[in-house]
Amino acid sequence: MRHGLQQLIELEVAAVLGAERHERSDDRLGYRNGYRPRLLTTQAGDIDLRIPKLRSGSFHPSILEPRRRVDQALYAVIMEAYISGVSTRKVDSLVAALGSQSGISKSQVSRICQDIDQQVQAFLGRPLEESGYAYVFLDATYLHGRLGLGQQVCSRAAVIAMGVNADGRRELLGLQVGDSESEGFWKAFIGSL
């Protein structure tokens, strides 16, 4: 896997520079200036890659994401574990079980999961005025979870609003968790939509 990824990086830098390594060409756009190490954590384990440096400008391979040392598949596993309620510390042992020798710190897990929070906030803040809904269904269910400093198990209401547009497609309009299905809670939820 390391060899394949390294070859892709070498091909891409050659395309950027307009010439292969040690090739003499009038079409050359720049020159190499050594390598910098990059550790990539994948499901196949940790892979040490060498990223070419350029004399002028910078180069970052398109197959790697900037400032992310975990590949997409492992990234998805980490987010899914976080959403499922696995603690950030236990995610490290999960990543190690998937083949990473270096593991992942709880701060890296938190940074990865900030993307989820941003996507959820963008979803919750999207405007609904432009969309017309033929029907809006409201429902609630009670879920058990730990709450407070004592981590006492309690039952909380999860309310959901589902809209049906003119085409007949269902669309999730909103979701909120509260202590109970009181009139005030429903009014606040519907007002937030």
Identify the top-confidence range among 1-5, 10-14, 38-42, 147-151.
10-14
Would 59 be classed as within a structural domain? no
Give bridge partners of residue 135 from the DSSP assignment.
164
Cα(53)–Cα(112) distance, rounded to whole angstroms?
27
pLDDT class of 69 with cuts at 50, 70, 90: low
User: What's the rounded mean pLDDT across residues 160-178?
Assistant: 87
Q: Residues 46, 80: one domain?
A: no
Are residues 176 and 192 in contact, defined by beta-carbon separation less than 8 angstroms? yes
pLDDT tens profile 70-90: 556 666 777 777 777 777 777
For residue 91, what are the domain limits? 72-124
User: Which pLDDT belongs to residue 138?
Assistant: 92
137 pLDDT band (50/70/90 cuts)? very high
Domain contains 84: yes
Check whether residue 150 and residue 183 sit in a common domain: yes
- Looking up tokens 């006492």 gives 152
Structural domain includes residue 169: yes
Same-domain check for residues 138 and 159: yes
Asked if 16 and 29 count as a contact pair (C-beta separation under 8 A), the reply is yes
Indicate whether 64 belongs to any domain: no
60 inside domain: no
Residues 113 and 142 placed together within one structural domain of the fold: no
Q: Region 143-166: what's the mean pLDDT?
A: 83
- Domain-embedded: residue 110: yes
Shared domain check, 47 and 79:
no
> Domain check: are 138 and 186 in the same one?
yes
Q: For the chain, how many structural domains are there in total?
A: 3
Q: Contact at 8 Å (CB) between 40 and 46?
A: yes
CA dihedral sign, ordered 69, 72, 78, 83:
positive
Does residue 1 register a pLDDT over 80? no
In a domain, 23, yes or no: yes
Concatenating the DSSP letter of every residue in 15-26 gives: HHHTS-TT---T
CA distance 48 to 1: 10
Of 24-28, 101-105, 135-139, 170-174, least confident by mean pLDDT is 101-105
Domain boundary among 85, 101, 124: 124
User: pLDDT at residue 100 above 80?
Assistant: no
Whether residue 66 lies inside any domain: the answer is: no
Q: Mean pLDDT, to the nearest integer, of 95-122?
A: 71
| Closest to 58 (Cα-Cα) out of 10, 17, 11 | 17
Shared domain for 179 and 158, answered yes or no, is yes
Q: How far apart are CA 44 and CA 50, in angstroms?
A: 18
